[in-house]
Structures are given as C-alpha cells and as structure tokens.
C-alpha cells in the first residue's frame, strides 16, 4: 500500500491544511501530541531552514504553521515503515517559527532529512543542539539610588515602570517575595503574552510565565501535558529578581548582606520563558521558540544567561539568530559572555547586535580573618559565621592525604577533632568537604581558592565555620604550618564590609576575547556586577535545615549569568527614560559611559592584579548614572548589519538565514562593509598588511544638549599614530548625525608586535563619550597575543 494513503498523507492539500489547524496553534507552535503514539527511537530533532519568501496560498494554508506542516507531509512517502506505526506524522512537528528563522523544528529520521534535502524549498537541516546556563548592594553601587538632582537613576527612569523584561532561563519560583505585585501598575496594553501559573502568583510583576519543553517530550516519555516553568534550582529565580525584582526588606544570607533587596528595574514587568532543564540543558529549538513568542508578546528587553562555545558562525547560534530578529523588533538582547575565562577567545554570544556582558566584582566583601599563632592576620571571606566561635587559638593542621580533604577516613586518622583544617581546591564540592570535616570532628575549615582566581573569593555557606582565602594567602598559612612547632589559628568574623579598595576587578571566570567569529568587533562589550550577588532563590543549595528552621529566601551566586540581568535591568531604565531609542543606541549609551578605572582611580585590574585588557573588560564597568545621559550615541538599524555580514564573506544562504528578508539578499549586488567600519561604540583595527594602517568611519548622533560642540581627545601609546578628522563635532540640534574618521597606523611602519590599547574621547562640558581603541596584529600572529602596550 502506498504510504500516502495513511493518516495525514492521505489527505488532499486543502484538507491537510484544515486538519493541521486542529493540531498546530497560531503561536510559535508546539505540535499537538498523541497519547497513543509509540516513538520508535529512530527519530531526532532537527531545525529545518526553508527558503523565503513564504510561497503559500492563503486560501489553502491559513498560516505559516499549516504551510510548514504541509512541507513535512511532503516527505512522508520516504518513511513508509515508520508511518505504518505512526500514521499521525504531524505530531512530529515541534515548533513552527514565525520570526526568528524561516523554518520549523521537527522529529525526523535521517532518511526523511535526506529526502527533504531534495526539495526546492529546503535550505539546511541542523541536528539537535543544547546549550548551557552561564551562572542588595548593587543598586547603590551603580548609582540607581538617590535624588534626581543628584543623578539617582531610579528617580529619572521611574524604576523602569511599564517596561517588560523577558527572561530566558531554567525556571522560576513564582511565589518568591521578589515577585510580589504590590504597587505595580498593570502591564502596558501591548502585552500579548500569558502566565501559566494561577492567579495567586501571576500578578502585575510576574505577567508572563511559560515553559518551552516541546523538544524534550519526545525523549522523556510520559511528559505529554503542559509543563509549568518551575525548577528546584536557583538560576532563573536569581536572574529574574536581579533584573527586576520588587523591593524586599530584610534580605540577607545568614545575616550577611543585610538590607532591602531590589532588582535593577524594580517597577518593570517580568515575562519568564523556561528553556533550560536539568535533564537536557537548554535546547536550541526551545530557545528559538521562546524568542519567537517573546517578540510577539511585546517584551522590550530580552535577558539571556546561556550560550554556545562551539557555534561556527552567527547563523549557527540561536542567541545570534534570535538577537537579530529582536533588533528588527526594537528589542535589546543582553546576554552572558560566558564563564570559561580567563583563557583567550572563550567569549560567547559575540554578535554585534547583542550586548555581550562579562563579570566583575563589587566593592562588598564578607570579611573573615584567619589569625595565626604568630600574630599574623590574613583576610579571607566567609558566609559561615557561627553564633559564638570564641577567641581561643585552635590547633591548625593540613590534610595529609591529597590536600583536598576528600577522604573522611584520612581526616579521622589525623584526629582533627577540635582543630582547624586547611583544604585545597579540587575534588569534592566545598559543601561536601565541610560535611566530611564536621563528621570527623573538625572545629573549622580554611578553604583555598583556585590559583587562577587570584584575589577573588567566591564564598559559600558551609555546615561548619569556614573561611575561604585566596591561593596566595593560603601559601602564607601553609608556610606558617611548616615552620611553626605547634601551629594554631583562630577565626575573626567581621561580616559585610563595603568600599573595598581597588574595586571592581574582572572576575577570573569571565570569558575573554578576542571575538572568534568577528575579530574586528571587540567582545565582551562591557562588564557588570557578577561576583557574590545576593538575589532571590527558592532554597539554599547543598545545605540542610531542621524542621523548625526557616529556609533562607536569598543566596549569593556568581557568574556572567548574574552580570547579564544587571545590564538587562539598567537597559530597561534607559528604555523608560528614552522610549524611542533603538537597541544599538541603548547599547552605545552603556558602553561609552562605562568606567575604565576602579574606586581608587586606577585602571581596573584583572583578578591576578595586572591591568585588565580590553579582551577582559570590553568598554569597562557599567555606570548606570552616566548611561542615562550619554551625550552622543552610535546608532545602528538591523539593516545596517547586512553589509557587515556580507563583509564577513558569509554565503548568501547564511546571511539570509540570519536576516530572513523578502526578497532574499544577494551580497554580490550590494556593498560590503568591513568590520572596522560598523558604527560600533568601540574601535578595532586589524593591521595585517603593509602599510599597517587603517581608516575607520563613525557616525555620532547627538542626544545631549541641542547646541553643543565636542572636542576629541586621543590617548594611545607612542608606538601608534592616530588622527581624527574633524577634531571637533559642532551639533546644532538634537538627533543630528555627524561623521568622522579615525586614521591609525604604527609609528614604525611595521606590523604591531602585539595588541595595542588606547582610547578616544569626545568631550563637551559634562559629557565624556569614550571609545576603546584596540589595534591587533594579523592572524599570522596569535589572535590572542597579550596587550603589549596600553596607555
């Protein structure tokens, strides 16, 4: 029997279209599932890219979803054996995309994909791919608090009122006090989304909550019903409350960081989209479907703390694909830059239309001192302060096993009862080490941070008194143990301390440039608070509580996942104050006003104490107060990125996969734009051929004072010559655009030996509009060559 006589394939095309409407909804559509279907295990998830424009007859196919369904049925005759077991082949349509890509996600066999590749509508099939998450004081630190006269951002932006922030993450604890809706106005009329929780937790704060689990239902049998966007983990609740959490008095973690918690935009609305799961990570198809729906729901900002380190180019990456479509809709995407630093070329989410966020410290520490028997005091940090540790000196010993305290038997054999033990990083989680040491009778633990972390300590709560110290500090303690006849120590817990000198520093885990997919665009763009951030959580992980103990509602987490929602919330504040600004203008305001110096007016340091390079720092550490009023911005539309993509020598197919225009773009028929000439807030020149010079074009838009004149200031090492024409920009009105060029060349006329860093500033009264200047050698030299010269 011909396979087309079965089920869906037996229907004429109009009937197929009508029937599909019963199985596929109008929104970024998960296919209807059929409870009796027995998956053979021969299928895999694929993202299918189709040609543009959509050549479908609206009298036959009522929408894009039904058209995609018809395309899928066209390969049914290549799966006769499968269809006999599964007549309802259309239950294998997972998502039909309307915005982010031209295509759909479906369950297919390799044979079906092979047959599909012969169709004239077929462009490409991508196999399933998963991605990973990148994981109270900051409002004051960033200048959000204070009166409008003193520049308090909350007063000038109404705390982000009316702005909708879409969060893509791993689940949310909807009943957390950070998401109460008291004193919140209803969402704006444009809001078109839904909240799948009941009305007791859906409110004017948490206006949207959905789970995108369709791509996994085929793997995890029995999960056929709608899934609520909940998760026992902390990540999504933490990032959401950081971006736009409501005020919660008395927030703390075991008495530390006590204060009133609040997100960056405490009056903004939250729309939550669950795309990450413990069982499977973050699936590409789910991410694209969530972005697809979020844009139609009416979000203003998208915050993504996930990424892909393996994508070959921007057309392979869902954050890049969704981010470009978001730019077309006027929505800024703020994305985590990754947690695989400090190695070079580790940054993710590098597309120029995405705000790529790295992580730095704040000026807050949770100080605890290790006092040694020779009266030397060494500082570390702790979240494990006991009620009464006492002031007596205790014996201090080092694990004689592997040094990492991974064997309880070794600890017991050492007789650590009543002693303080020092444990190196590695092996078990620190929480497990603490439990082992407690069972062995230890009085306290000194936990050594990895050497690569430098001066940065990321404390966690533990079940016994614990002080976490930098690697260099630990070496001093170990040297004392080796030389002292009877080594002793005690802990002095000093609690939360602010205004730590030489803050911020770049987090050691924060991923670094150069940008692998576009070396001519500096990434990360900016860094923000991402170390020891207190925000809402469902529970404290790796801690046990008695039946009468109250579970803490806040916890400390670190990662670029924590930095990205800070920038998302600040972007919401800017959007409220400047509702007509494009995503590129908001991004420019953040970058050109970022701080390049720390709180003692020295260049911001890396965690090892050396000056941070632009590959670690981007434009600098976010300064929300200045970003609200930047003076000038470097604007771009979504269309401006098209010649840039052609200039990367992408094929027409890959360009059209990203921008999905109608009609399709042909790069041969349009001018190509060199990376250096994209109107970006930072300036990167690759000098890879004689005469080792470049001229870069920029266009500045006046958003400050109507009549204003800006004078240029350039600060570069002597090995570099820079000329700016014209040297002044005289604006006569708001939104006026003036052009200038920057000519750079090596003073020697030879190729640069390594990267060279400088800066360009346009100065007019209170306005200082700063752009980093990065000059790189050619690819013949290492793209990750350390900066050998800087101003």
What whole-number distance in Å separates Cα of residue 276 and Cα of residue 307? 11
Annotated catalytic residue: which of 6, 137, 176, 235? 235
> Per-residue b/e over 317-327, b at no fewer than 16 CB within 10 Å?
bbbbbbbbbbb
Q: Which residues pair with 131 in a beta bridge?
A: 282
State yes or no: is 525 an active-site residue.
no
Which residues does 222 contact at the CB level (< 8 Å), separation at least 6?
none
In eight-state DSSP terms, residue 90 is: G
CB atoms within 10 A of CB 419: 22
Q: What is the 3-state secondary structure (H, E, C) of 738-780?
A: EEEEEEEEECCCCCCCCEEEEEEEEEECCEEEEEEEEEEECCC
* Residue tagged 């049914």 (tokens): 76
| Gyration radius (Cα) of the chain, Å | 28
Interstrand relation of 355-360 and 526-529 (parallel, antiparallel or unpaired): parallel
Distance of CA 777 to the CA centre of its chain: 29
Annotated catalytic residue: which of 561, 568, 582, 607? 561
Which parts of 598-692 are beta strand (E)?
A: 632-633, 683-687
How many Cα atoms sit within 13 Å of 712 on the Cβ side?
18
Helices within 100-259 (DSSP H only): 110-116, 138-141, 153-157, 235-244
Which residues does 55 contact at the CB level (< 8 Å), separation at least 6?
121
Annotated catalytic residue: which of 86, 169, 292, 677? 169
In eight-state DSSP terms, residue 119 is: S
* Residue tagged 């054996």 (tokens): 81
What whole-number distance in Å separates Cα of residue 156 and Cα of residue 177? 26
Contact 549, 378 (CB under 8 A): no
Task: Considering only the C-alpha atoms of the chain, give the largest distance between any 2 of them, rounded to a whole number of Å.
Answer: 91
How many Cα atoms sit within 13 Å of 162 on the Cβ side?
11
In eight-state DSSP terms, residue 262 is: -
State yes or no: is 561 an active-site residue.
yes
State yes or no: is 235 an active-site residue.
yes
For 115, phi then psi, to 5°, come to -65, -40
> Active-site residue numbers?
169, 235, 561
């Amino acid at each position: 029997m011909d396979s087309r006589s079965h089920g869906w394939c037996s229907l004429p095309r109009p009937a197929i279209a009508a029937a599909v409407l019963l199985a596929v909804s109008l929104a970024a559509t998960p296919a209807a599932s059929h409870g009796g279907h027995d998956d053979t295990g021969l299928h895999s998830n694929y993202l299918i890219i189709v040609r543009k424009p959509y050549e479908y007859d609206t009298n036959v196919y009522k929408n894009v979803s039904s058209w995609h369904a018809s395309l899928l049925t066209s390969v049914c005759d290549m799966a006769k054996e499968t269809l006999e077991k599964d007549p309802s082949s259309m239950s294998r349509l997972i998502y039909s995309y309307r915005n982010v890509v031209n295509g759909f996600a479906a369950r297919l066999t390799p044979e079906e994909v092979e047959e599909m590749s012969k169709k004239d509508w077929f462009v490409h099939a991508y196999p399933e791919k998963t991605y990973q998450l990148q994981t109270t004081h900051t409002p004051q630190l960033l200048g959000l608090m204070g009166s409008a006269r003193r520049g308090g951002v909350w007063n000038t932006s109404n705390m982000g009122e009316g702005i909708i922030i879409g969060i893509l993450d791993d689940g949310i604890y909807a009943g957390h006090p950070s998401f109460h809706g008291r004193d919140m106005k209803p969402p704006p009329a444009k809001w078109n989304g839904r909240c799948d929780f009941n009305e007791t937790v859906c409110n004017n704060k948490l206006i949207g909550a959905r789970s995108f689990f369709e791509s996994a239902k085929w793997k995890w049998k029995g999960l056929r019903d709608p899934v609520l966007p909940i998760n026992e983990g902390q990540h999504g609740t933490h990032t959401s409350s950081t971006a736009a959490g409501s005020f919660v008095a008395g927030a703390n973690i075991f008495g530390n960081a006590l204060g009133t918690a609040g997100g960056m935009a405490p009056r903004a609305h939250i729309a939550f989209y669950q795309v990450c799961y413990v069982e499977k990570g973050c699936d590409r198809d789910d991410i694209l479907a969530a972005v697809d729906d979020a844009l139609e729901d009416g979000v203003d900002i998208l915050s993504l703390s996930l990424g892909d380190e393996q994508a070959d180019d921007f057309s392979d990456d869902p954050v890049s694909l969704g981010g470009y479509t978001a730019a077309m809709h006027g929505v800024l995407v703020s994305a985590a830059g990754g947690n695989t630093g400090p190695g070079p070329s580790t940054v993710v989410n590098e597309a120029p239309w995405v705000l790529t966020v790295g992580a730095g410290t704040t000026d807050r520490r949770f100080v605890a001192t290790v006092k040694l028997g020779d009266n030397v005091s060494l500082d570390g940090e702790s979240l494990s302060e006991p009620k009464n540790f006492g002031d007596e000196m205790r014996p201090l010993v080092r694990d004689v096993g592997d040094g990492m305290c991974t064997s309880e038997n070794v600890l017991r054999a050492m007789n650590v009862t009543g002693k303080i033990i020092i444990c190196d990083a590695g092996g078990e989680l620190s929480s497990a080490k603490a439990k082992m040491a407690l069972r062995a009778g230890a009085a306290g633990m000194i936990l050594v941070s990895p050497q690569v972390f430098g001066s940065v300590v990321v404390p966690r709560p533990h079940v016994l008194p614990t002080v976490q110290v930098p690697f260099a500090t630990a070496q001093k303690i170990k040297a004392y143990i080796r030389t002292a006849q009877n080594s002793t120590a005690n802990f002095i817990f000093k609690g939360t301390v602010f205004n730590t000198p030489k803050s911020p520093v770049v987090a050691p885990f924060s991923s670094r440039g150069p940008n692998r997919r576009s070396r001519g665009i500096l990434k990360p763009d900016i860094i923000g608070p991402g170390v020891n951030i207190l925000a809402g959580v469902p529970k404290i992980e790796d801690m046990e509580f008695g039946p009468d103990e109250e579970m803490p509602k806040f916890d400390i987490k670190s990662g670029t996942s924590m930095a990205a929602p800070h920038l998302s919330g600040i972007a919401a504040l800017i959007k409220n104050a400047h509702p007509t600004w494009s995503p590129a203008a908001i991004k420019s305001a953040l970058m050109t006003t970022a701080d390049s110096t720390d709180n003692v007016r020295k260049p911001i340091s890396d965690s090892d104490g050396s000056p941070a390079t632009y590959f670690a720092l981007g434009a600098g550490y976010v300064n929300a107060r200045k970003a609200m009023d930047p003076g000038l911005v470097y604007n771009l539309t979504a269309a401006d990125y098209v010649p840039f993509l052609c200039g990367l020598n992408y094929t027409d197919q890959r360009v059209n996969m990203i921008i999905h225009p109608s009609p399709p773009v042909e790069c041969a028929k349009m001018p190509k734009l060199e990376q250096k000439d994209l109107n970006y807030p930072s300036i990167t020149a690759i000098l890879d051929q004689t005469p080792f010079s470049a001229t870069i074009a920029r266009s500045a838009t006046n958003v400050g004072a109507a009549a204003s004149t800006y004078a240029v200031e350039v600060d570069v090492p002597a090995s570099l010559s820079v000329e700016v024409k014209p040297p002044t920009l005289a604006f006569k009105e708001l939104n006026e655009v003036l052009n200038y060029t920057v000519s750079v060349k090596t003073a020697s006329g030879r190729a640069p030996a390594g990267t060279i860093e400088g800066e360009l500033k346009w100065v007019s009264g209170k306005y200082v509009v700063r752009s980093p200047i990065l000059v790189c050698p050619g690819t013949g030299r290492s793209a990750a060559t350390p900066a050998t010269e800087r101003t």
